[in-house]
Amino acid sequence: MSYNAIYEVTRGLRTLLHNQLALISTSAEVTLLPPGDTLPEVSGVNLYLYRVTESPFTKNRPWPGDRATPPSNQPALGLQLFYLLTPLGKKPDDTSFGFGDDSHTMLGVAMLTLQENPVLNDVHVPGFDADTVLPDFLRNSYEQIKIHLTPTSLEELSKIWATINQPYRLSVAYEVSLVELTPTPPPPVGGGLVMSTGVSVITLDAPRLTALSPTSGALVHIVGNTITPNDLQISGFGFSFPGQPTIVQVGGQQVVIKNTPAPTDQALTVVLPTDLDAGPQADVRITLNKRTSTPLQFTVSPWLNGVTPIRTALDPAHGPNDLKLILKGNGFTTTPQAVRFDAPAASSTVTTFDAGGSDTQATVTIPANLPNGVYTVRFVLNDAASSASNSRTLEVIPLVNSPIGLTVVGSVHQLTINGDRLAGADVRLVIDGVTYVTGPNTNPTQLVYKLSRLLSLGSHSIAVNVDGHLSRSIDLEV
């Protein structure tokens, strides 16, 4: 827009109102007089610009340009225009009750016109076409000229009329925005001669995936005793954009893009995650320049759905399920290689499977020498790569045998707890939900603790927590 924007907006509003009022009264007028002047007694309205304020929404914002002018680092002056709309009409005949006030008719037509045409740029009615009435700089602007009725109290309107020392007249206020006074464009600078052109065509569409290689397989394989993630090759196009990182997700996890082979716009290789939260179908997506591709599915095989049990004290007295681990999933094959139990403190591998295994289930004996801890369990295939499944967790907890020894030492009770994996740096005794810190214990098969009181008569619940791993509760009758 230009310095002439306020003038052109007022002219446009006046033209639109006059066009619609003339449909009701051919002699209707739209005046632009200050309310202090004597308003004519004719049918019509008076449109008075009484206030101009700067819009807070564009303050200090570099001007983005318009459809015909490039942007500028200088901010435009965004304005909000406030108009007072006062109806005009001949003085009604007080002796005739068959007629009302003609100015009220004009007010209704004017308000309905602005209500039905709230965006001045978009008005195309007979007698007023914004494409011909408004100048180019208003029509080319990215900002529209919006009109809306401003809630104005009687006190505010009275102040306006009192300021000009005139009796109050029926009026309504309208806000018109956004009107921009744009910075003056710099003079054109002569360019040099173009000796050669370099045009790169870069699609703005989301990346598109056409193929995965392989389409199914294991997340990891075993090299020596190390779990090594597998690679996945992705083909398609739109995988690169200048200055923007390419993000690849497999099953919702962001993965690493390999530098060898070097990624291109049509192909790249990623390192699969060592674990997934859900499967066996995992969506593969590429996000670039804030656009995400339609996914392709990678099927994880072998896939481990779950293990039973998920906590064990390796207690023969608790039943065979405490010593046997049942693995369920798919892609196991009937001749697997091993099941791995990995933890930071210890690891173990079982290569002997119980009879009756299938492609979806296998059973092994849990190693009896596993210390307390949380283990990641993986199923390993008997193929050339030693492909391994995703992992599930198994917690080995301290074993507390029943019965618990109870003796009176002096005037207090002493508990003797036998079991396994009772040694640790932080050992705590839990009696009826109350924790007693016993400190370090070096005896893996026994814990002796003297209370400072006698236990009350009745049934009590006893458990041992060794380095954060809580045993099953054992009942003690006193």
Chain segment 87-144, per-residue pLDDT in tens: 998 877 666 665 678 889 999 999 999 999 999 988 888 888 888 898 888 888 888 8
- Residue 248 C-alpha from the chain's centroid: 17
Backbone torsion region of residue 122, taken as left when φ is above 0, otherwise alpha when ψ lies between -120 and 50, otherwise beta:
alpha
Alpha-carbon distance of 128 to 148, in angstroms, equals 19
Q: Is residue 242 scored above 90 in pLDDT?
A: no
Q: Is residue 435 scored above 70 in pLDDT?
A: yes
Work out the pLDDT band at 457, boundaries 50, 70, 90: very high
Helix 102-116 to helix 5-21 angle (10° resolution) is 120
Q: Is residue 194 scored above 80 in pLDDT?
A: no
**What is the structure's pLDDT at 371?**
93
Q: Where are the domains of the chain?
A: 5-181, 208-299, 303-396, 399-477
What digits encode the pLDDT tens for the residues 8-57?
999 999 999 999 999 998 899 999 988 777 888 899 999 999 889 998 88
Class of domain 5-181: alpha beta
Alpha-carbon distance of 138 to 129, in angstroms, equals 13
**What is the structure's pLDDT at 61?**
86
**What is the structure's pLDDT at 472?**
93
Neighbours of 47 (CB within 10 A): 20
**What is the structure's pLDDT at 95?**
65
What is the pLDDT of the chain when averaged over all its residues?
88
Alpha-carbon distance of 279 to 342, in angstroms, equals 21
Strands 296-300 and 216-217: parallel
Mean pLDDT, residues 255-273:
93
Rg (CA), the chain: 42
Distances (CA, A) of 188 to 3, 69, 136, 183, 191: 20, 12, 20, 15, 9
Class of domain 303-396: mainly beta
**What is the structure's pLDDT at 98?**
59
Q: Is residue 200 scored above 80 in pLDDT?
A: no
- Cα dihedral 371→376→379→384 (10° resolution): -100
Share of the chain above pLDDT 90, in %: 55
Q: Is residue 187 scored above 80 in pLDDT?
A: no
| 57-61, 256-260, 417-421, 469-473: segment of lowest average pLDDT | 57-61
- pTM for the structure as a whole: 0.56
**Fold entry, domain 208-299:** Immunoglobulin-like (2.60.40)
Mean pLDDT, residues 61-89:
87
Q: Is residue 180 scored above 90 in pLDDT?
A: no
CA proximity to 251, closest of 204, 290, 303, 308: 303
**What is the structure's pLDDT at 184?**
74
Mean pLDDT, residues 289-308:
92
Mean pLDDT, residues 193-211:
77
Q: Is 399-477 CATH 2.60.40?
A: yes
- Cα dihedral 306→308→311→317 (10° resolution): -170
Question: Do 208-299 and 303-396 have matching folds?
Answer: yes
| 107-111, 190-194, 326-330, 426-430: segment of lowest average pLDDT | 190-194
Is the separation of the CB atoms in 228 and 201 below 8 Å?
no
Mean pLDDT, residues 151-161:
81
